[in-house]
Amino acid sequence: MSAPMTNSSQDIQIYEIKRMDLKGSTIINGFPGVGLVSSIVANYLVNTLNLEQIGLMDSTLFPTVSLIRKSEPHHPVRIYAGTTPGKPADNIVVFISEFQPPQSIVKPIAETLIDWAQDQWCSLIMCPEGLVIEKEEGAQPEDEKSVRVYGVGSTHRAREYIIEPNVLPFSEGVITGVAGILLNEGKRRNFDVISLLAEAQQDYPDARAAAKIIEIIDRLMLHTRLDAKPLYREAERIEAQIRAVQSKAVVDSKTQNQFSGMYG
């Protein structure tokens, strides 16, 4: 482990594109983790609920890339928000990130996110995560029913009212990345942060695990009574799209570096 750099949260900025009253709203953290479960969930919610981009997170330390979608350029980290049919009084906010932040900026990102959540008087940060499970060799592929979902909360309040009545408790383990720091900071600040962890494959985007978490989020917060079948198909479509961006990114990355040594 080489000497790490100091990256304060001053290196990360949030820019608002459209002002919206977010008091009491829930934030979904879509920074990628195990099985890209968080990314699939976040994209699904943005698409299904027709959420609108209200801001973006940026930093000199983020990748130098523009993502073109529907003929418009997009920053790699974006903030979407909107209402849900089942609970029109409350807003839902979704952070989408097209890249997994390197270790050195995970803390500044998480701290900027929770600072902003508190500034906006949001009431909850929800982190969908995959939980690696080791399978016996030769085991049969499991059906969706068998995907278990665990939960952990940063506060007594979150554990008592959200985790315990709804999912299995995640009692012992380790959560890394943005979600891990959000949980720690939520505990320190007495701010509600929840992570839902669905059993997932760590080696590829896992649409089934994501769909399982979407069902629970719907039941807990959205009350939209999503039909299960399209949910799984949509989750699979997003999985495919994410794979495509990844392979594209690799090609472009090669291209980019081709001449960079010119006088270097």
Minimum CB distance to its own copies smaller for 140 or for 247: 247
Residues 6+ apart with CB under 8 A from 141: none
Min dist. Cβ of residue 218 to its own copies (A): 24
Q: Are 79 and 57 in contact (CB under 8 A)?
A: yes
Three-state secondary structure call for residue 151? strand
Minimum CB distance to its own copies smaller for 88 or for 102: 102
Q: 260: part of which helix (H) or strand (E)?
A: none
Min dist. Cβ of residue 102 to its own copies (A): 5
Min dist. Cβ of residue 36 to its own copies (A): 7
Min dist. Cβ of residue 15 to its own copies (A): 6
Minimum CB distance to its own copies smaller for 37 or for 222: 37
Three-state secondary structure call for residue 137? coil
Three-state secondary structure call for residue 58? strand
Minimum CB distance to its own copies smaller for 13 or for 146: 13
Min dist. Cβ of residue 88 to its own copies (A): 28
Q: CA 219, CA 246: separation in Å to the nearest integer?
A: 31
Minimum CB distance to its own copies smaller for 46 or for 179: 179
Q: CA 37, CA 23: separation in Å to the nearest integer?
A: 26
Q: CA 213, CA 147: separation in Å to the nearest integer?
A: 10
